[in-house]
Structures are given as C-alpha cells and as structure tokens.
C-alpha cells in the first residue's frame, strides 16, 4: 500500500473513532480511553518529550496505537460498522467538494508557522536544559 493511500486510510479511521466516541451506545470507559489518548498527545507534559529526535515521537505513536486497539476492543462491532458507514459518507462528501487554492495556501502557511514554532520551542528548551 502506498503512503498516500495509507494516510487516507488513517484519516478515515480517525473519523470512525470520532463518530464512535460520540455514539450513544459506546460506554463511558471507551470514551475515557479516547479522551486520555488525545489528552496525552496534546499535553505539554509527556513521559518522553517530543523534541527528543526519534524517541520523542515514537512514544506518541505507541500511545495512539495502544489507544486505538483498546478502543476497538471496547466498542461494540455493530457500532464500529455504523461509524465506518458515516466515515465513508463524510469522505465521499469531502471528495465532492472543490478545494480552493486559498485553502491550500492557508494550510501551507499554518503548517509552516507550526514547524517554525516547534523548532523555536525545541531550541529554547534545549538551551534551558543545557544551561
């Protein structure tokens, strides 16, 4: 499977889990797993800081992998099937929409600013640690 296809599949699965967490038949502990997984990724306090070159991102990947697997086990299969249908509908609607060049430019600018901010924060943190 090519990288682009794999990325599209992961994007679709993110929609599936988004719909699963909002589904009324999903139990509270499955929602708690999803919230803790997202919270860990967005939290500035992590076991291994993300600015450490390879290991910093590997712990994030591991947390996402374990969170998704646990959420798959805790969510009833019929709910996951229903949420996959909803995700398919969203993906079809997204493909039908025409992307404007302005939206692409805005996404590129946001990504560039995020990258610059990440590098700047990493440099500042590294300078503070080695002082």
Same domain, 25 and 78: yes
Domain, as residue range, for 126? 100-131
Give the residue among 83, 13, 70 at the shortest CA–CA distance from 40.
70
- CB of 60 closer than 8 Å to CB of 50: yes
**Count of Cβ atoms closer than 10 Å to residue 5 Cβ:** 9
- What is the pLDDT of the chain when averaged over all its residues? 84
Looking at the structure of the chain, the number of domains it has is 2
Give the model confidence (pLDDT) of 69-87 as tens digits. 998 899 999 998 998 899 8
Kindly state the tokens that stand for 116: 């610059």
Same domain, 57 and 114: no
User: Could you tell me if 94 and 8 are in contact, meaning their C-beta atoms sit under 8 angstroms apart?
Assistant: no
The mean pLDDT value for 124-128 works out to 91
Query: Quick one: 64 and 33 in the same domain?
Result: yes
Please spell the DSSP secondary structure of 64-126, one letter per residue: HHHHHHHHHHHS-HHHHHHHHHHHHHHHHHHHHSPPPHHHHHHHHHHHHHHHHHHHHHHHHHH
3-state SS, residue 51? coil
Identify the pLDDT of residue 40. 83
50 and 110 fall within a common domain: no
Residues 94 and 119 in one domain: no
pTM above 0.75, yes or no: no
Q: Are residues 93 and 107 in the same domain?
A: no
End-to-end CA distance of the chain: 46
| 87 lies in the same domain as 116 | no
- Residue 104 and residue 63 share a domain: no
């Amino acid at each position: 499977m090519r990288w682009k296809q794999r990325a599209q599949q992961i994007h679709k699965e993110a929609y599936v889990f988004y719909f699963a967490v909002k589904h009324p038949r999903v139990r509270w502990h499955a929602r708690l797993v999803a919230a803790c997984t997202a919270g860990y990724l967005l939290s500035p306090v992590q076991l291994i800081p993300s600015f450490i070159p390879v290991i910093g991102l590997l712990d994030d990947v591991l947390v996402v992998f374990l969170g998704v697997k646990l959420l798959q086990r805790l969510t009833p299969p019929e709910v996951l099937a229903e949420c996959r249908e909803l995700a398919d509908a969203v993906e079809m609607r997204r493909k039908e929409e025409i992307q404007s060049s302005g939206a692409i430019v805005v996404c590129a600018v946001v990504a560039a600013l995020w990258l610059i901010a990440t590098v700047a924060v990493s440099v500042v943190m590294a300078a503070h640690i080695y002082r």
